[in-house]
Structure 1
Amino acid sequence: MVPIDTGTVRALGYTRVSTSEQGDSGAGLAAQRAVIEAECTRRGWTLVEVIEDVASGKTLDRPGMTRALDMLDRHQVDVLVAAKVDRVSRSTLDFATLLQRADRQQWKLTVLDIGADLTTPAGEMFAGIVAQIAQYERRMIGARTRDALTEKRKAGVRLGRRPALPPDVVRRIGDDYAAGMGLTAIARALTEEGVPTARGGVVWHASTIQSVLRSRHAEAAAAES
C-alpha cells in the first residue's frame, strides 16, 4: 500500500455528542475538535472542516455522518478523522461496515484513541481484524435467530402470515444501506452468512431488502407524526 502524500491530504474531522445538553455546552465537542486539529497539524494535513453531530451512536444514520460520508465518497476530502471510536459508532458491525465502505470508495479513516489508521499498513491489518470480528457477530445473530425459530416450532407456536424480522437484523440492513451497500450486496451478504429470512428461509433477494427498508422508513415516519 502506498502511504498518503502528507502534503496533499484533505482531512475531514468528525465529532459527536449524544444529547442536546452536551451539544449546547460545547465542552465535549470542543475537546474532540482540539484532538483532531492537533493530529492534523502534526501530520501536515489540511483540515477542511469539522462536522458535528448531536445524536445517538447506535447507528450511522445521523445528519452529520451522512454528510461526511457523502463528501468522502465524492472525494471532496481524503480522510475522516475522529478522536474516539465511540464517537463514530458504538457497534462493531457498523464500524466494520464503515471500514468496508472506506476500502470500496477509496478513502481513509483515522480513529485516534484505538490507533485505527487506514493510511498505514498496520491500520489495514487492524481493519481486517475488525472485519473478522464483525463477521463472527453476524453469524452469531443468524444462529440465534435460527435457534429461536426452531424452539418456537418445537413449542407449537404457529408463525403468522406476516412474520417480523428480529430488530437487530432490521437495524443491520438499515445501517448497511446507509453505509452505501446496494440492495443486492446486502442480500448476498445475508445469504452467505446464513441469516434466516422472516419466514425462516435461507436465500435473500434485493426485493426483500427493499421491502424491509420501506417498512423501516414507514415505521420511523409514523413514530415522528
Structure 2
Amino acid sequence: MKQAIGYIRVSTEKQANEGVSLEAQEAKIVTWCKANGYELVKVYVDAGISGKRMDTRKELLAALAFLKKGMALVSYSLSRLARSTKHLIEISELVSKKKGDLVSLTEKIDTTTPMGEMMFTLMAGMAQLERRMISDRTSTALQHKKRSGLKYTNQTPYGFEAIEGRLVEVKQEAEIVAEIQAARSSGSTLQAIANNLNGRGIPTKTGKTWAPATIHLLLKRSSLVAAI
C-alpha cells in the first residue's frame, strides 16, 4: 500500500475555533488517504504557528525530512503549507527531489502529473495575490481611520485618548512626544531618551517604564500620522 504523511497547522487559538480546526484538517486527510489507497503513517502538527516562515515550523521541517520516495505529503490547503509562493515552490521542489508527491485537498492539486505541477504553481500565485489584496484593503482602511481621527489600533497611541472611538490629543502627552522627536532629531539615542523619561518618573501609556523599542515605536507612529 502507498504511504502518506499529513501536515496540519493553525496560526492561533482563534483560528482553531473559528476557522478550520486541527481535527477537521486531519479528518479530511484521513478521508483522502482511505479513498485513494494510502496508508497514513504519521501526521505532523504545528499548532499556533504562523505560516510566514518555514524555519519556525519544526513539524513541517520534520515532515519534509521524514518524507521518502513514493510517499505523499498531504495538507488540507496550500495556506496550511505556506503563506508565500516562494515557500510553496521551495516545498514542492524539495518533495520532488525526494521523488514524493504533494497533495492539497482544498485546491484538489497533486504533483503526480505535469498538469498538477502547473496548477500548483498557478494556485500558489493566486493565493499570494489574494493575500496582498487583503493587505492593501486593510492598509487603506487603516489610513482612512488615521485621516479621520479614528482609533486605529487596539492600544490608544501615546499622546492621545480615545473618546467614543475618536482620538483626542492629550496635551501633556503630546508635549512629551514633541520632546522625544526633538531629542531624536538632535542625535540622542533611543536608550538615552528612555533613560531621561524614566529618570523623570514619566510612565508610558500603560504605566510601564520606557525602553528603546517603545521609543522607536512611538516615533514610527508619530511619523506615520504626520505624513497623512
Q: Which has the larger radius of gyration?
A: 2
Greater helix percent: which structure? 1
- Relative to the length of structure 1, the TM-score reads 0.49
- Relative to the length of structure 2, the TM-score reads 0.48
Q: Which has the higher contact order (CA 8 A, sep 6+)?
A: 1
